[in-house]
């Protein structure tokens, strides 16, 4: 019974991780502030949005890294990427630091990538813990992913 409840706790944890790390559509919630603080055009803001989406395209790196590193290393790497990407963007929006446009572009790229790294961890945890009900666990986890 403890093993059975443990795997459900893993599923609940993956749902919470995905809820806290943001959805794939989070850029729009703070983009107007970013545009105002950086004093950029709509075209430049669109480029930052594309950078965030491009970061998601590099999400394959997380799965590749799992072939060489343990899960906890990949988890800390995703946390580091998220803290770096979103943390520095928050500092810019709060006007605590000023960064040139190309660095903010890079931060958007990193932030977008961090979401995929967290999602990879969640999927791997579900696959490892739900051997018979993988599809159920993955579908419940994905439903909180913002798709």
Q: What is the pLDDT of residues 36-91, one digit of tens each?
A: 999 999 999 999 999 988 988 888 888 899 999 999 999 899 889 989 999 999 99
pTM of the model: 0.80
Query: What do you get for the CA distance between the two ends of the chain, in Å?
Result: 33
21 vs 37: which has the higher pLDDT = 37
**SS3 category, 146:** coil
* Residues 3/118, Cβ–Cβ less than 8 Å: no
Q: Is the pLDDT of residue 136 over 50?
A: yes
> Where are the extended beta strands (E) located within the chain?
none
- Considering the chain, what is the average pLDDT of its residues? 84
Q: Distance between alpha carbon 23 and the CA centroid of its chain, in Å?
A: 7
Please indicate whether residue 35 or residue 21 has the higher confidence score (pLDDT): 35
**142: exposed, middle or buried (C-beta count within 10 Å: 0-12, 13-18, 19+)?**
middle
- In this predicted structure, which of 4-13, 21-30, 33-42, 122-131 has the lowest mean pLDDT? 21-30
Tokens representing residue 117 in the block: 């790294």
């Amino acid at each position: 019974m403890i093993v059975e409840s443990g795997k459900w706790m893993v599923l609940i944890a993956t749902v919470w991780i995905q809820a806290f790390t943001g959805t794939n559509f989070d850029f729009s919630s703070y983009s107007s502030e970013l545009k105002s603080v950086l004093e950029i055009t709509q075209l430049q803001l669109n480029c930052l949005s594309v950078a965030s989406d491009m970061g998601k395209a590099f999400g394959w790196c997380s799965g590749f890294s799992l072939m060489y590193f343990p899960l906890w290393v990949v988890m800390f790497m995703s946390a580091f990427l998220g803290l770096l990407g979103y943390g520095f963007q928050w500092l810019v929006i709060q006007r605590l630091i000023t960064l040139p446009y190309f660095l903010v572009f890079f931060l958007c790229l990193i932030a977008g990538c961090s979401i995929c790294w967290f999602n990879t961890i969640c999927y791997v945890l579900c696959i490892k813990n739900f051997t018979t009900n993988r599809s159920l666990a993955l579908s419940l986890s994905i439903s909180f992913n913002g798709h």
